[in-house]
Amino acid sequence: MATPVLDKVEAEASASPYITVTFRIRRFNPEVSAEAVWEDFQLEIDPKERVLDGLHKIKWDLDGTLTFRRSCAHGICGSDAMRINGRNRLACKTLIKDLNPEKPITVEPIKGLTVLKDLVVDMEPFFQAYRDVMPFLITKETNEPTRERLQSAEDRARFDDTTKCILCAACTSSCPVFWNDGQYFGPAAIVNAHRFIFDSRDEAGEQRLEILNDRDGVWRCRTTFNCTDACPRGIEVTKAIAEVKKALITRRF
């Protein structure tokens, strides 16, 4: 085969890459003040770097008090969902160049969960909703490994999309219904219920559907698609919710 070439990327790499950008960050520290304020930081950054890299530059070189969660830095652990330029995204999966660095980049905590400090929110209500849908495989047989249980590739594919969830809360905290009423299970919990309802090995679909038939369940969804837009894993969240609604009506899943 032909020698692979990579002209485009390497031409970019050789030029001096740094530009100056402004990060406009929503700051809140109840030990200092009860009010949240916007604070601007200017920094030099390569546009191919992540928003998370920018936050680190601020924390490490400018202001050590800036507080946010992060871990893997490549979109797998789900720690750093935040509202960037008004949209929920993972800071580690959002590149500066994709944001129009001419204007200040605004960074705020995700909405609908109590802000504890700067970009850190209270995740407990989010995980409680997740736990409430019984997010684990329920079968009549015991858990002891004896011989292999089979599942067809088609049955496995049926729920593939919703297995990708990393519980970052980008979807739930982008949902206007959730903003107005924190009792609503929210998209992420429904996605995780979907993952089991449509798993051919699971035997508790009816129970999960009953949980989601609650007044704070799937019927609160107003199909605004914010969740699907927000999902950093590309899960078709609104579609999954619709499938759960349909299963509730037809009792077929």
Partner 1 sequence: MKIHKYDTVIVGAGGAGMRAAIESTKRSRTAVLTKLYPTRSHTGAAQGGMAAALANVEEDNWEWHTFDTVKGGDYLVDQDAAEILAKEAIDSVLDLEKMGLPFNRTPNGTIDQRRFGGHSRNHGEAPVRRSCYAADRTGHMILQTLYQNCVKEGVEFFNEFYVLDQMITEEDGVKRSAGVVAYELATGEIHVFQAKAVIYASGGCGKFFRVTSNAHTLTGDGQAAVYRRGLPLEDMEFFQFHPTGIWRMGILLTEGARGEGGILRNKDGERFMEKYAPVMKDLASRDVVSRSIYTEIREGRGCGPEGDHVYLDLTHLPPEQLDAKLPDITEFARTYLGIEPYTDPIPIQPTAHYAMGGIPTNVEGEVLSDNSTVVPGLYAAGEVACVSVHGANRLGTNSLLDINVFGRRAGIAAAEYSQKADYVELPENPAEFVVSQIEQLRTSTGTERVAEIRRELQETMDANVMVFRTEQTIKTAVEKIAELRERYKNVAIQDKGKRFNTDLLEAIELGNLLDLAEVMAVSALARKESRGGHYREDYPNRDDVNFMRHTMAYREVGDDGTESIRLDYKPVVQTRYQPMERKY
Site for partner 1 in 125-144 (CB under 8 A): 127, 131, 135-137, 139, 141, 143-144
Q: Of 139 and 213, which has the nearer Cβ to partner 1? A: 139
> Which amino acid is located at 205 in the chain?
G
With CB under 8 A as the rule, give the number of residues binding partner 1.
Answer: 71
- With vertex at residue 218, the alpha carbon angle to CA 215 and CA 219, rounded to the nearest 5 degrees, is 60
Residues 41-80 that bind partner 1 (CB under 8 A): 48, 59-61, 63-65, 67-79
- 3 state SS of 38: strand
Is residue 24 a contact point for partner 1 (CB under 8 A)? no
Question: From the list 22, 85, 163, 207, which residue makes contact with partner 1 (rule: CB under 8 A)?
Answer: 163
19 alpha carbon, distance to own chain's centre = 28
Burial status of residue 218 (CB atoms within 10 A of its CB: 0-12, 13-18, 19 or more): buried
User: Could you tell me the two tokens for 125?
Assistant: 């209500």
Is residue 18 a contact point for partner 1 (CB under 8 A)? no
Burial status of residue 48 (CB atoms within 10 A of its CB: 0-12, 13-18, 19 or more): middle
For the CB of residue 124, give the shortest distance to partner 1 in the complex, in Å: 9
Interface segment toward partner 1; rule CB under 8 A; list 105-113, 119-127, 215-223, 243-251: 119-127
Residues 168-197 that bind partner 1 (CB under 8 A): 196
Q: Of 38 and 60, which has the nearer Cβ to partner 1? A: 60
Is residue 117 a contact point for partner 1 (CB under 8 A)? yes
Q: Of 159 and 245, which has the nearer Cβ to partner 1? A: 159
Q: Of 30 and 176, which has the nearer Cβ to partner 1? A: 30
Burial status of residue 140 (CB atoms within 10 A of its CB: 0-12, 13-18, 19 or more): exposed
User: Could you tell me the two tokens for 122?
Assistant: 């209270």
Residues 158, 253, 218, 188: is their CA dihedral positive or negative?
Answer: negative
Q: Of 185 and 196, which has the nearer Cβ to partner 1? A: 196
Interface segment toward partner 1; rule CB under 8 A; list 81-89, 152-160, 219-227, 245-253: 152-160
Question: From the list 89, 93, 220, 245, which residue makes contact with partner 1 (rule: CB under 8 A)?
Answer: 93
* 46 Ramachandran zone, left/alpha/beta (phi>0; psi -120 to 50): beta
For the CB of residue 112, give the shortest distance to partner 1 in the complex, in Å: 18
